[in-house]
Structure 1
Amino acid sequence: MMSRRFNTAGPNDPARHHTVPALSRVPGVREIIEQGSYFILHAPRQTGKTTALLDLASVLNREGKYVAAVLSLEPGAALTSIDAAELAMLDSWRYDLAAYLPADVSVPRWPDAPQGNRIGAALSAFSQEAPRPLVILLDGLDSLAREVRASLVRQIRAGKPRRPRAFPWSIGFASVREPRELDAGQAPSSTRGPASSTGLDAEVLPLQGFTRSEVETLLQGLEERTGLELLPGAVDRVHELTQGHPFLVNALVQRIIEGSDGRKGPLTAVDIERAKDLLLDRRGGMLDEIGDRMRDGKLRAALEQILTEVPREPPAEDMRAGIDLGLVKRSPDGTVALANPIFHALVARLLPGAVRSVFPVGQPAWVGPDGRLDAERLLEAFLDFWRRHGDALFSSAPYGELSPLVLTAFLNRVVKSGGLIERVYAIGRGRMDVCIRQGGAAVALVVKVRRDRDPDPIPEGLAQVDEALARLGIEDGWLVVFDRRKGVSPVSQRLGAAKEKTPAGREIVLVRA
């Protein structure tokens, strides 16, 4: 039997890839099909929509009550002509059906029909030839041009009363966008009375990320493949970092396998953090696509607003690419945030990327001959860097509001030199926490930004350093405060570091930047 692997490219094949069953990811879909209803499965890119459709069709065909087939709409994606799009899709569907239909079902011949009626005629003919009620799963509804999609919707609505003898009993669609958003941002149709995508009378099913239980099921494949012992804390950490995003779960596991180097034993939090940093360093696949999309000025500006808590809502259209990618999520109260800690860390790395040209190269001065982190030298290196470049970075857009992220980019050199940045989080809650480990030494940082009308952040920050040191079980800590108030003296004049006492009596370093 072929050994299965963790897949990050294209739909899963359960025979070759570790896969979460569709029926567990889309609760209620079986009841919708039994009722003869239609549904739209919507989720961001690379979250398993096509995999879920293929698995659902496979289950239905094995059970033998229905004939189920997945048909891609994407062959019509580049075409604005209804005539050309219909012909392209129907030609491609013959190959889809040849690959996936059960052995007792023949690939139908499409009947001749006029433009604008070919899809309906084909589905009607297929339904009449099929030995059992037909379930059709159409993948990529959002990929079609508006007029082509409107024509498809009309034909399906017209055929629905003929079910089940002369039209599919149930039709499912997969789409990046939910129906009410599908036509947003596209040019109006020239067709009189264009059909809305919401006119499908279909149940909308959001495809959620993996649950913790589903992540644990997938990670059991990691145990089988590597011999690493899966501890509950490791499952929690993978789910926390990815929030169950299917691509990220699989990509992170791939990096865990690479980093294990054949080692047996328990999978620790440090192993997972190293895998996360390796994933962010090497990127690839969807992470590269996010980097490419972030070159768009509107999306970039919207992400900066989210990261820095600028008190205004980014325009909805500026956020569209981020939502479609799954990079950004919108909560029930309407606020937007980055979808998970890995995407948060990726954006934090990519936004201040232009400042890396001013970073020194070679072995960092804060790494001693024994490979241990020297916290005093690390502090000196950052103060020197910020003294020389802080004013220029503050005065430039977007880095004036992203100074904590510039610090993160600076500290990423710890990873490059063999160290570990354990966590970066909580920017959206008014602070950023970082734990740096290298060669057995460690330092914890709490990073805060002071803006106009903000209270003095130092008392709260000192208590937060106490909390971080106690949680991490280490002694060295810094509180770094970036002052963004108008009228403050230049960085070169106000920059400094001094010893301070925390409420618990710990002696830490206060950095005023």
Structure 2
Amino acid sequence: MPPLERFDLDEVLGLIRTERYFVLHAPRQTGKTSSLLALRDLLNGGAEGDYRCAYINVETAQTAREDVGRAMGAIAVQIAAEAEDTLGEPAFAEEVLRYDAERRPHSALWALLRKWAKAGAPLVLMIDEIDAMVGDSLVSALRQLRTGYAHRPEAFPQSVILCGVRYVRDYRIRASSEREVIAGGSAFNIKAESLRLGDFTRAEVETLLGQHTDETGQEFAPPAVEAVWAQTRGQPWLVNALARQLCFKRERPLPRGRPISERGVFDARETLILRRDTHIDQLADKLREPRVRRVVEPLLGGDDGAHSEADADYARDLGLVAADPPLRIANPIYAEVLPRVLTSVLQDEMPKRTAWYVGADGALDMDGPLSAFQEFFRGNSEHWIERARYREAGPQLVLQAFLHRVVNGRGRIEREYALGSRRVDLLVVWPAGDGRESRFVVECKVVREGRSHSRTVENGLEQTAAYMDLSGTDAGHLIVFDMRAGRTWADKVFREERTFGDARITVWGA
């Protein structure tokens, strides 16, 4: 996609013309840097006026941590390189490299930008990976920009664009020189706007896949195009990684003239998840952070959460949850990754027993694994839930780990989470031959202290029937975990055949 179409170019140019400092943020690997470099080239080309536009990446200053002098020295090197390579100012670059940033660390950036701005046409500065910096180094950089702001454009950059994963308001800076945690908004309160680079739209995903077809002749079947969109929701890295796997990294290339199928998309999805590329690993690593856990754990459990809006904003900035309401996991691939990461140890230790539940015709007998799960949960639940990193969502995660061991390799599990729904919707999809699929709805409900077991079951039956109708299947199962204190397993474990309207649903107690 043309990088300058990823944001509102007229708005960005308007902010630059009116000498504004602003923030551009988005989750990792969504195209921020490509868009900034394209904007730099546009401004330096003269079509939008007489500007000198420079791009620096300050990620190298991260290792300086609280050492402001070393951090400013690392930034100075970036400034020198950009001045020479992009703006053709070798004399200024040499002067920057001779400048001793460590002697006057808290004014070094201010002094360099002041001199650079005076050297020619109005300077527009893009600072990428600003939130990679930490502590005193970040505070000092933000405050030096704020100090010079009043002297723009003659003696300081006309416009500064801070780019990173998070909105500057959400920076929680723990600086050793301050007694309290500093909010980024107080250290840099001169920004005019905070712009978020969005995901691809559905039309853009279709355009990207269509470009491949136009160039190579390799077509995507309409269900495959729909699956790429549905599984990624336009997350740029996922769209590109999934398409690259489909088109160029298959173990067996497709015969010429045979379109890429929906099944191929799900096979490629599984490959991405198992390969654990850096993007997926970074996502998984964020699950360790308490403020991420406060948002994600209730989502995975379908329960009411106790997170703050600041926690939710942070999870949105990371791209873990969707940018628009209601609060939910950002896309189905992330929804698949999260429980697998959280239960990876459990899955490794669980026996894989698929053969027990598959008939001679290849059909999956869903009663078999759910009955086995009842037995497994009765004997192991306290041990497994105690070990689970997200304990409140433990029952649902243990069930998903068990089912994944059953269906992995042949079928798949599609997951739906919604905060406050008090349920988790699972759809087990199993190949039935001749290109057809068997689909089984598995609904999870948890009875906790102060809740009625019978009312929970009734609500669960209604919700299961609705999801069965939505999924186009007449095979429905409701799992009810009774987590109330003092309940015996004889009280908790049961199996009943129930109906809700025209839907026949098997209810399993655990």
Residue identity opposite 2:298 in structure 1:
Q
Q: 1:472–1:325: structure 2 CA closer, same or farther, 3 Å change rule?
A: closer
Count how many residue pairs are aligned between Structure 1 and Structure 2.
Answer: 486
- Residue of structure 2 equivalent to 1:404: 396
Q: Which segment drifts farther, 199-208 or 150-159?
A: 150-159
* CA displacement at 1:25 relative to structure 2: 2.2
Check whether the contact 2:231–2:333 (CA below 8 A) recurs between aligned residues.
Answer: yes
1:444 to 430, 435, 440: 440
Structural mapping, 1:56-205, within 5 Å: 56-64=39-47, 65=49, 66-79=51-64, 80-99=66-85, 101=86, 108-109=92-93, 110=95, 112=99, 115=104, 116-130=106-120, 132-189=121-178, 196-205=186-195
Q: What aligned pairs does 1:151-300 form with structure 2 within 5 A after superposition?
A: 151-189=140-178, 196-224=186-214, 227-230=217-220, 234-235=224-225, 237-257=227-247, 258=249, 261-262=253-254, 264-295=257-288, 299-300=292-293
- Determine whether 1:46 maps to 2:29: yes
User: Per the alignment, do residues 292 and 89 of structure 1 end up closer, same or farther by CA in structure 2, a change over 3 Å counting?
Assistant: same
What displacement does 1:287 show?
1.3
Give me the CA root mean square deviation. 3.7
Instruction: Give the Cα separation in 1 of the matches to 2:283 and 2:173.
Output: 22
CA distance in 1, matches of 2:329, 2:279: 15
Aligned in 2, Cα 1:345/1:173: closer, same or farther, shift over 3 Å? Answer: same
Q: Aligned partners of 1:462 and 1:123: how far apart in 2?
A: 65
Deviation at 1:44, TM superposition (A): 3.3
Deviations 1:401-453 (A, max 9, x none): 422222211121244332233x2113533331313213435241231314242
Distance change in 2, residues 1:352/1:374 (3 Å): same
Aligned residues: percent identity?
29
SS of 1:430 mapped into structure 2: coil
Give distance in 1, aligned partners of 2:305 and 2:58. Answer: 38
Aligned residue for 2:355, secondary structure, equals: coil
Partner of 1:489: 488
How far off is 1:348 after superposition? 1.8
1:423-434 residue pairs with structure 2 within 5 A? 423-428=414-419, 429-431=421-423, 432-434=425-427
Aligned counterparts of 1:164 and 1:301: Cα–Cα separation in 2: 44
Change (3 A) 1:58 1:389: same
Counterparts of 1:323-334 in structure 2, within 5 Å, are: 325-328=318-321
Q: Give the whole-Å Cα distance in 2 for the aligned partners of 1:456 and 1:194.
A: 45
What's the secondary structure of 2:238's corresponding residue? helix
Q: Distance in 1 between matches of 2:133 and 2:319?
A: 20
Match status 1:420 vs 2:409:
no
Is 1:22 the counterpart of 2:4? The answer is yes
**Unmatched 5+ residue regions in structure 1?**
1-18
> 1:317–1:40: structure 2 CA closer, same or farther, 3 Å change rule?
closer
TM-score (norm 2): 0.81
Q: Per the alignment, do residues 280 and 70 of structure 1 end up closer, same or farther by CA in structure 2, a change over 3 Å counting?
A: same
Q: Is the 8 A contact 1:226 1:262 kept in 2?
A: no
Secondary structure at the aligned position of 1:244 is classed as coil
Please state whether the residue corresponding to 2:92 is helix, strand or coil. coil
1:76/1:371 CA distance change after superposition, 3 Å: same
Which residue of structure 2 aligns with residue 510 of structure 1? 507
Residue identity matched to 1:444: F
CA deviation string 1:49-68 (max 9, x = no partner) = 32222222122233453222
CA deviations on 1:223-271 (whole Å, 9 max, x unpaired) are: 3466453466655544443343322222333343345842555555444
Find the residue that maps to 1:410 and give its secondary structure: helix
Q: What residue is the counterpart of 2:344 in the other structure?
A: 353
Q: Residues 4-32 of structure 1, C-alpha deviation per residue, up to 9 Å, x if partnerless?
A: xxxxxxxxxxxxxxx45134324511111
- Taking the aligned partners of 1:202 and 1:275, their CA distance within structure 2 comes to 42
Cα 1:309/1:462, change in 2 over 3 Å: closer
* 2:16 aligns with one of 15, 20, 33: 33
State whether residues 136 and 175 of structure 2, in contact with CA within 8 Å, keep that contact through their aligned partners in structure 1.
no
The alignment partner of 1:122 has SS state of helix
How many angstroms does 1:284 deviate by? Answer: 1.7
Cα deviations across residues 274-320 of structure 1 (Å, max 9, x unaligned)? 33333333322121123334345775465323422554514689879
Deviation at 1:363, TM superposition (A): 5.3
